[in-house]
Amino acid sequence: MKKAIIVSGADHTADMIYHTLRNNGYDNISVISVGNEVRRSLLNAIPDIIIINTPLYGEMGTELAETAAKDTDAVVILLCGRDIADELADRLSPYNILVLSKPLNHRILSDGIKLLRADTVPFSDIRETEEVMRRISNIRIINRAKSMLMKYLGFTEPQAHRYLEKQAMNSRCTRYEAAKKIISDLT
């Protein structure tokens, strides 16, 4: 029986995470909204995976992610806003915490779960895992470019998204390639 803990103050996001975990074979899923309650539950039983949707009530959730990663063998995924995703990913990478930016869909979360369970994936699925890692890396670059457009040029998120799409279309390249060019132009 695979055990999971969802830590989220937002019910709609918790529902999406819950259904994604169910589709990935997790059958014992707890949904908790307060970090201290998770810390107490970790004393009794260690889950296979912990997914933290930031911010939490009374805290951001990054400290909880660090604690869970250091003190347990659980896989830890942290969901956060696009504007801080790269910073948190860099800060939390020593703890092997996967940071995914919101908004998020079932597919990306499912791919992240599969990626972190790579040590249990059959050898024949390694290509799929490599594809997932490439996709996550591409998403991070694209989100970083959007973040830079918002920070340096004052774009809103929808404007940055449209600008990136238009650059890719006009240059006849992928969004990832357009994002890399935007990053290099703005740095």
Mean pLDDT, residues 56-67? 86
- pTM (global) more than 0.85: no
CATH number assigned to the domain comprising residue 182: 1.10.10.10
Average pLDDT over the chain, rounded to an integer: 85
pLDDT of residue 163: 95
Q: Report the candidate in 114, 82, 112, 76 with the shortest Cα–Cα distance to residue 94.
A: 76
CA distance readout (Å), 179 to 82, 141, 150, 183 = 15, 6, 13, 6
Range of the domain at 80: 2-120
Are residues 149 and 57 located together in one domain of the fold?
no
Q: Are 21 and 74 in contact (CB under 8 A)?
A: no
pLDDT band (50, 70, 90) for residue 142: very high
Q: How far apart are CA 131 and CA 54, in angstroms?
A: 27
Are residues 110 and 50 located together in one domain of the fold?
yes
CATH number assigned to the domain comprising residue 72: 3.40.50.2300
Bigger pLDDT: 6 or 134?
6
Mean pLDDT, residues 64-86? 87
3-55, pLDDT tens digit by residue? 888 999 888 888 999 999 998 888 888 888 887 888 887 777 788 889 999 88
In a domain, 129, yes or no: no
In a domain, 11, yes or no: yes
